[in-house]
Every structure is written in structure tokens, then in C-alpha cells.
């Protein structure tokens, strides 16, 4: 069946106790938008609590972990797990609990009246509560090599991938708090961390700047951009260009971390819920947005931790908040 098609009942899983989910259904207790660790975890908790739960996963389910290789820091996997495998397991676990999952993209929402409406190109779904778990995407530099070497030396998360680069030289691109924090963290592993920044002043907070400027393992390349990434199977060289002199230099490196900001996936929620000046969902109390009955979880709100485990924990919190909200609404 085509993803997102509203058709006949579909067997959702090959597990011991498969659940049949009716994909013609459009009315749910809880609609979860997004299928990263927060969305799937929210699905597991909501379904297990007895709520009729729908996850609209988008066209490429699994979130940022689908573009990750080995995950060494998700508890419970002594020998690590591949990012895509972790997401497949979370999806199956959610389905086993009874969550209906439809791989379709949400194009619009109406949170002004209840039940809330969530629309895909072909269908209109209703939920008594909605959990927004659409995540955020790291900004990309837009170089060809960036795609070619993604997961082969190019990374967007130092906490996740830093330990893979022990005793190697590393480039970090960016001049904000993320870049400086990641560069400082990476000095635990790397022999040298080269920060490549397009200006001659950092955007990062003073205290973080000073820490990095005083770190002997960090070398700054001001007014510079990475214009090419080269390698055989993995990243081996970064070609830098000084934007003032046009001089080009080649750095022999093992890894390149892009830390030029994130973009939260919140375009469809503009004018529906409160977002901050960078588009992140503003939470009022735990996982509650400013609209009663609409909750958010994971990187769509969290710009600080951005880990699979914290996103999953946020999903759990949102599901518990939804349970309380629906139970209390029923009593009114
Ligand atoms: P950010 O503050 O937006 O900084 C992005 C950096 O990347 C800037 O230095 C920017 O250069 C550069 N950049 C943007 N696009 C680029 C491009 N196409 N090519 C090259 N460089 C580019 O993003 P962030 O560092 O991820 O931080 C996001 C928010 O989270 C901030 O509010 C930050 O304070 C917060 N944060 C806090 C902490 C902490 O307190 N521990 C840690 C991480 C993040 P320009 O400076 O020239 O614009």
C-alpha cells in the first residue's frame, strides 16, 4: 500500500501479538506529528495508557537518527546500535502497543477549536490532544562533499560522534555557542580542533569564547569557509578559503563537524501556537504549549541537549501530560 493512503485495515507488525490498525480511521484520542525518538516514545506511552493513538510520521520516518551510523550512547545497547535500527525498533514497539502509524506528511493544522485538526494532502485527522514532535534539522553548508561524507567523517553532533575521532585532527565549522561548545568537547579526543568561522568575531558567549581561545588544542581560522571536503572512503581533507584574501589551504583531517545552527520544523505551526524568534516551540509548563491540549516534545523545543535519549524522555513526558489532560477534560 502507498504510504499515507487511507485504505483497508493493515497488519502493522510481525511481532508475536500483531495489532490490526484501521488506516481508514481519522478520529483519534491523540495525534502525534513526527516519528523520531520523541514521537515514537510518546506513541508507546499513549497507546499503552489505552489511548487511540496516531503517529503521522512524515515521508522519511525516524528523524535525524536515520542519518546516523553507530549510536554508542543510547542506554541499553552495550555493543552500540545503528541509528536506523534503533528507530525501526522504536517504531515496531509503538505499533505493538497499538499505535497507528501513517507515513504521510502533515501540511496544515487547525488548533483553534476542538477536536484539533491535522491535515495531510489527502486526509483530515482529528485528535483530542496533539503532540508536536517534528524535531529540528541541522543547517547544512551546502557542499557536495557534505552529503557524500555524511556519516563517513562529516557529522552534526559532537556528543554523538566525537569518540570516533580519537587522535585525529578535526574541523568544526561555525562561531556560535554550539560550535565553540562542540570544539571544546572534541579536544578530549582530537589532537587538534580547527574552528573555521566566516567572520573574525565569534557569536558565542564570552565565557565559552575565552575557554576556547585559551585551549591549546584549538586553532582558529578566521574569515574562512570550508569550500570542499575530500577523501577516499572517508573524510581526509578540508579545503579552506580565506574570504578576505582568497588564499586556499588544505587541512589533513579525520572528521568535520558542522555546527552552524539548527532549524526547527515548525513552519506549519506558525499562527497556531507560540514559537520563539528562531521558530522553536515555546513551552509553558512541562510539555504544554500555549494552546491547551497541544503538547510538544524533543528537538522542536529543545535547543540545548538534542540527544536521542532526551528526545525520547520528552516524548514520555508529553504522553503523561496528555494522559492527565484528557482524564481531567473528561471529568469536567
Ligand atoms: P547560532 O547561534 O545561530 O550560530 C550559528 C553560527 O554558525 C554563527 O557563528 C554563524 O555565523 C555560523 N553560520 C551560520 N550559517 C553559516 C553558513 N552557511 N556557513 C558558515 N557559517 C555559518 O547557532 P548555535 O550555535 O547552534 O546556537 C543556537 C542557540 O542555542 C543560540 O541561542 C545559542 O546561544 C544556544 N546554545 C547555547 C549553548 C549553551 O549555552 N551551552 C550551547 C549551544 C547552543 P555568524 O556568526 O557570522 O552569523
pLDDT for res 167: 97
pTM of structure:
0.78
CATH code, 140-258: 3.50.50.60
Confidence of residue 331 (pLDDT cuts 50, 70, 90): confident
Whether 224 lines ligand 1, by a CB cut-off of 6 Å, is: no
- pLDDT 10s digits, 250-275: 999 999 999 999 999 999 999 999 99
Whether 146 lines ligand 1, by a CB cut-off of 6 Å, is: no
Q: The CATH number of 26-137+262-331 is which of 3.40.640.10, 3.40.190.290, 3.10.50.40, 3.50.50.60? A: 3.50.50.60
Domains 26-137+262-331 and 140-258 share a fold: yes
Q: Which atom of ligand 1 is nearest to the CA of 140?
A: 18
* 66-80, 107-121, 140-154, 195-209: least confident range: 66-80
pLDDT for res 67: 67
- pLDDT 10s digits, 91-134: 999 999 999 999 999 999 999 999 999 999 999 999 999 999 99
Nearest residue CA, atom 4 of ligand 1? 176
pLDDT for res 245: 98
Whether 81 lines ligand 1, by a CB cut-off of 6 Å, is: no
Q: Which atom of ligand 1 is nearest to the CA of 181?
A: 42
Q: Which one of 138, 158, 177 would you pick to mutate in the ligand 1 pocket, going by the greatest count of ligand atoms within 8 A of its CB?
A: 177
Whether 198 lines ligand 1, by a CB cut-off of 6 Å, is: yes
Q: Indicate the domain borders of the chain.
A: 26-137+262-331, 140-258
Above 80 in pLDDT, residue 12?
no
Nearest residue CA, atom 33 of ligand 1? 177
Positions marked active-site: 157, 160-161
Distance 268 CA to ligand 1 centre (A): 24
Q: Residue 171: which region, alpha, beta or left (left: phi > 0; alpha: psi -120 to 50)?
A: beta
Nearest residue CA, atom 46 of ligand 1? 203
pLDDT for res 20: 54
Above 50 in pLDDT, residue 18?
no
Q: Which residue has the higher pLDDT, 167 or 67?
A: 167
- pLDDT 10s digits, 51-81: 999 999 987 788 878 766 778 889 999 999 9
Nearest residue CA, atom 36 of ligand 1? 177
pLDDT (mean) for 189-208: 96
Amino acid at each position: 500500500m502507498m504510504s499515507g493512503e487511507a485504505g483497508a485495515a493493515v497488519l502493522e507488525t510481525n511481532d508475536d501479538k500483531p495489532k490490526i490498525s484501521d488506516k481508514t480511521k481519522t478520529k483519534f484520542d491523540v495525534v502525534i506529528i513526527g516519528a523520531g525518538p520523541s514521537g515514537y516514545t510518546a506513541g508507546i506511552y499513549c497507546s499503552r495508557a489505552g489511548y487511540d493513538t496516531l503517529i503521522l510520521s512524515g515521508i522519511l520516518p525516524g528523524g535525524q537518527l536515520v542519518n546516523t551510523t553507530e549510536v554508542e550512547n543510547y542506554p541499553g545497547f552495550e555493543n552500540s546500535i545503528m541509528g536506523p535500527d534503533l528507530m525501526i525498533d522504536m517504531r515496531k514497539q509503538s505499533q505493538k502497543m497499538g499505535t497507528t502509524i501513517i507515513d504521510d506528511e502533515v501540511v496544515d493544522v487547525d488548533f483553534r477549536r476542538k477536536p484539533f485538526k491535522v491535515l495531510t494532502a489527502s486526509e483530515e485527522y482529528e485528535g483530542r490532544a496533539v503532540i508536536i514532535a517534528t524535531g529540528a534539522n541541522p543547517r547544512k553548508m551546502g557542499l557536495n562533499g557534505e552529503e557524500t561524507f555524511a556519516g563517513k567523517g562529516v557529522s552534526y553532533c559532537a556528543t554523538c560522534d566525537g569518540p570516533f575521532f580519537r587522535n585525529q585532527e578535526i574541523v568544526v565549522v561555525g562561531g556560535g555557542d554550539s560550535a565553540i561548545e562542540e570544539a571544546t568537547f572534541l579536544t578530549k579526543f582530537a589532537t587538534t580542533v580547527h574552528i573555521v568561522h566566516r567572520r573574525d568575531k565569534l557569536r558565542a558567549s564570552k565565557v565559552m569564547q575565552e575557554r576556547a581561545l585559551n585551549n591549546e588544542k584549538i586553532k582558529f581560522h578566521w574569515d574562512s569557509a570550508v569550500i570542499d571536503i575530500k577523501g577516499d572512503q572517508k573524510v581526509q581533507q578540508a579545503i579552506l578559503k580565506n574570504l578576505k584574501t582568497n588564499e586556499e589551504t588544505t587541512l589533513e583531517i579525520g572528521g568535520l563537524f558542522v555546527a552552524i545552527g539548527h532549524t526547527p520544523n515548525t513552519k506549519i505551526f506558525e499562527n497556531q501556537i507560540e514559537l520563539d524568534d528562531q521558530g522553536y516551540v515555546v513551552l509553558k509548563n512541562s510539555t504544554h504549549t500555549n494552546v491547551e491540549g497541544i503538547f510538544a516534545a524533543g528537538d522542536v523545543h529543545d535547543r540545548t541537549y538534542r540527544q536521542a535519549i532526551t528526545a525520547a524522555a520528552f516524548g514520555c513526558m508529553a504522553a503523561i501530560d496528555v494522559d492527565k489532560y484528557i482524564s481531567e477534560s473528561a471529568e469536567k
